Amino acid sequence: MAVDEAILTAVSARDQPPTLRLYAWSPPCLSLGYAQKSTDVDFERAAALGWEVVRRPTGGRAILHADELTYSVALPADDPLAGGGILDSYRRLSRALITGLEHLGAQVTAERRAARTRETGAACFEALSHYEITSGGRKLIGSAQTRRRGGVLQHGSLPLAGDIARICDALAYPNATAREAAKAGVRARAATLEQALGGRAVSWESAAEAMVAGFVESFEIDFIPAPLSAAEVEHAERLASEVYRHVERKGAAQMEGSHTNG
């Protein structure tokens, strides 16, 4: 999360070009939305599972980052891809994700919903909202966007495999019955890429290549792999120490606006 924010700062200042970042997590980590209550997490259970906990600079609800591909896109606010309202840019960026998923053989859609699903749970994948990317009616990517200080950050999670409902093992519920009910709800409303492909497993590397192809084809851009700059590394290390180690406080970003599917 600190690296995503450091990239956003550099891109907003025009020190770096618009940036697509694709990454994974080790060890598994539970991320909370910008304004989500930390009491949604059962920290003892998370620690027993070996999962860490962090707060995102974007909104939404909890996501378990394990066996997944995470993406982030950082743009200056005046970039054509960020044009229009928050929902407009979210839908535009989702086109590239859809193209990438189609390269992998997934049949997906992203449509404006007649009404947003009522948000009752603590987990991101329990609910759908406008232009959510789904497969067979089940959520496949959870994303969120924030705009701040002249820049736009959108990032999200594509679960590749595993039990989509295991996040509930580290969330706070009044009893075991409520936990199992939450798991059933997540499994009914969300899917992994492996499930969307009828049981065919996809490696992280293959998923990443498909996503890059999706962005290149959708926006007719050149993709130039590059490491973080020294300034981005320094900024990320400072943010990691001063901001993102403190789950109880809100993320560093003071949001000017957000669209949350997480």
- Which sequence positions are flagged as catalytic? 124
> What one-letter code names the amino acid at 194?
E
CA dist 69 and 173 (Å) reads 28
Residue 190 DSSP symbol: B
Q: Give residue 27's region: left, alpha or beta (phi > 0; psi -120 to 50).
A: beta
Q: What is the largest CA-CA distance in the chain?
A: 51
Q: Give residue 249's region: left, alpha or beta (phi > 0; psi -120 to 50).
A: beta
Two structure tokens written together for 93: 């960026």
Q: Which long-range contacts (CB under 8 A, 24 or more apart) does 76-82 make?
A: 76/11, 76/12, 76/14, 76/18, 76/150, 76/151, 76/152, 77/12, 77/147, 77/150, 77/151, 77/152, 79/18, 79/152, 81/18, 81/219, 82/147, 82/152
**Beta-carbon contacts of residue 224 (< 8 Å; ≥ 6 apart):** none
CA dist 36 and 39 (Å) reads 9
CA dist 7 and 4 (Å) reads 5
Cα 13 to its chain centre, rounded Å, is: 23
